[in-house]
Amino acid sequence: MAAHAFANPVFDAQRVFRAAMNALSRPGTLQTLDCDIAPPASLPAELAALALTLADHETPLWLDATLAGSREVTDYLRFHTGTPITANPREAHFALVSDPALCPSLHSFARGTPDYPDRSTTMFVHTSRISVGDGLILSGPGIRGTATMSIDPLPPAFAREWIANRALFPCGVDVLFTANGMVTGLPRTTMMEAR
Amino acid sequence: MNEHAQATGYNFAYLDEQTKRMIRRAILKGIAIPGYQVPFASREMPMPYGWGTGGVQVTAAILGPDDVLKVIDQGSDDTTNAVSIRKFFARTAGVATTTKTVEATVIQTRHRVPETALRSDQVLVYQVPIPEPLRYLEPRETETRKLHALGEYGLMHVKLYEDIARHGHVATTYAYPVEVAGRYVMDPSPVPKFDNPKIDDCEALQLFGAGREKRIYAVPPHTKVRSLDFEDHPFRVQTFKDPCALCAAEGVYLDEVVLDDRGGRMFVCSDTDYCEERREAGHRGHLAGDDPLSPVGRGRVAEGDRVREEHKSDSASPSPRPSPHRGEGEEALP
């Protein structure tokens, strides 16, 4: 079947946004990404949904090596969102990572400035499995007490880099992890430790 | 295509999709940096500044067809601002509207937090006139931005201290500054300080939109929101001597309603839905009469409108200064 974007752009984008909003405001929970899209084979549908919902001509997008190397993927994203695709992670508003192993260091992305901490990259990372319970202990705004969460696999050295990212607050990057039609959020405020 | 969009000629919920994306991006940044005011490209809306253009844009960006919308204006569901915004979204988005807090999924508010505790499936959207808590202390945006970047809030403590020096207590009663998640000092919008404790560790996501000032900010659920104070002058909320004259509620925020031109007045719940629910459940204040919809009860609505209209012309200006409530008694710890 040919690649297509949202069947119903207004309502699909609204549902995906609410999932992303709930994910970021309630770390440690899973939100369902519910929409009808068919992106090119190498672009996970979850990442495509988030990109179609949030990216446009104002938001340079960074792609990992697999995605950037696929003409279908870049054509699809350019056609449906009008987003400029950048090779420089520092100027990216959004970053799409289709495989955690391909995720560069968090430090390579924009982290904002003390005056404008919002001028940072939001990363969408697709992984194999996300589930509530086990693995990571999360705390911070959006979480009552602590929450437990398993993200498998995490990008290399992520746990260590996340501590450094947290220390940059109010600067830093935010990450949304996706897997199996679900999304979970890791805003820069979340403290994370392995159990 | 949505039938209401076809009927009105506008996109679902009025705003175009590019505008919604821009606002949605600002909302996500606001959630990630609690209390930080995210600049956004606020649009002109079909209503004047000061009537909730910021809140309306935030609501339009998050609203879906299955949402149930409630709009309150200083606690009331039945004043001009609340009625017209509710109608606006009923017309442009076709969403269900309600006056009941428990039925709503999105609640847009002007200057109150509902008395009923909010749930995790609800979003509270505040209309904000001046989002910058330091603005009256430092008019230059370049400077306030630097103060926020440095976490330098000495000015605000000096202001609160000057209140104490002059009045013997902190005299700020609304738009009382708070510190969010231990970092940013934030203006909770001109809610009475009575509502500040409800913003702390709230179950619901709270979003703030300032249309004229072009800022969006957020308090995620379960986030520490501390009202600024001093060890020897701890933060206290208003208390009222008498319970609500209609539903006998205590520990709620009351509005003064003038009854005649001979000094007669009554104090009733500012949250009309809360008051009505209590009366339906059989609670009676000393002026309520026997019937839940007694002439006194109906008269109050009309009377309340007039009083709140006066408040509106007052607080729609950049510097809202509601008159102090005579019914307010001693202040108590929250």
ipTM of the complex: 0.98
Q: Give the start-to-end residue ranges of the domains of chain A.
A: 9-187
Residue B202 among the catalytic residues: no
Cα separation, B129 vs A177, whole angstroms = 36
**Average pLDDT for residues A29-57, to the nearest whole number?**
96
CA of B226, closest CA in chain A: separation in Å? 13
Residue A2: its pLDDT value, please? 79
Q: Which of B269, B285, B297, B304 is catalytic?
A: B269
Structure tokens at B234: 């701890």
Residues 6+ apart with CB under 8 A from B313: none
**pLDDT of B303 above 90:** no
With a CB-CB cutoff of 8 Å, which residues 83-102 of chain A face chain B? 93
Residue B21: its pLDDT value, please? 98
**pLDDT of B3 above 90:** no
Asked if B163 and B230 count as a contact pair (C-beta separation under 8 A), the reply is no
Band (pLDDT 50/70/90 cuts) for residue B307 is very low
A2 touching B (Cβ < 8 Å): no
**pLDDT of A154 above 70:** yes
Query: Per-residue pLDDT tens for B30-88?
Result: 999 999 999 999 999 999 999 999 999 999 999 999 999 999 999 999 999 999 999 99
Residue A36: its pLDDT value, please? 86
**pLDDT of B318 above 50:** no
Cα separation, B184 vs B148, whole angstroms = 7
Band (pLDDT 50/70/90 cuts) for residue B4 is low
Set of chain A residues whose Cβ sits within 8 Å of the Cβ of B217: none
Backbone angles phi, psi at B311, to 5 degrees: -60, -40
Rounded mean pLDDT of chain A? Answer: 96
Query: Per-residue pLDDT tens for B88-122?
Result: 999 999 999 999 999 999 999 999 999 999 999 99
The CATH number of B3-135+165-227, from 3.40.50.11310, 3.40.50.280, 3.90.1150.10, 3.40.50.300, is 3.40.50.11310
Residue B300: its pLDDT value, please? 41
Query: Per-residue pLDDT tens for B166-178?
Result: 999 999 999 999 9
Q: Which CATH code fits A9-187?
A: 3.40.50.11310
Partner-chain contact A18 B64, CB within 8 Å: yes
**pLDDT of A186 above 70:** yes
Q: Residue A50 belongs to what H/E stretch?
A: helix A45-54
Asked if A152 and A135 count as a contact pair (C-beta separation under 8 A), the reply is yes
Q: Give the start-to-end residue ranges of the domains of chain B.
A: 3-135+165-227, 237-332
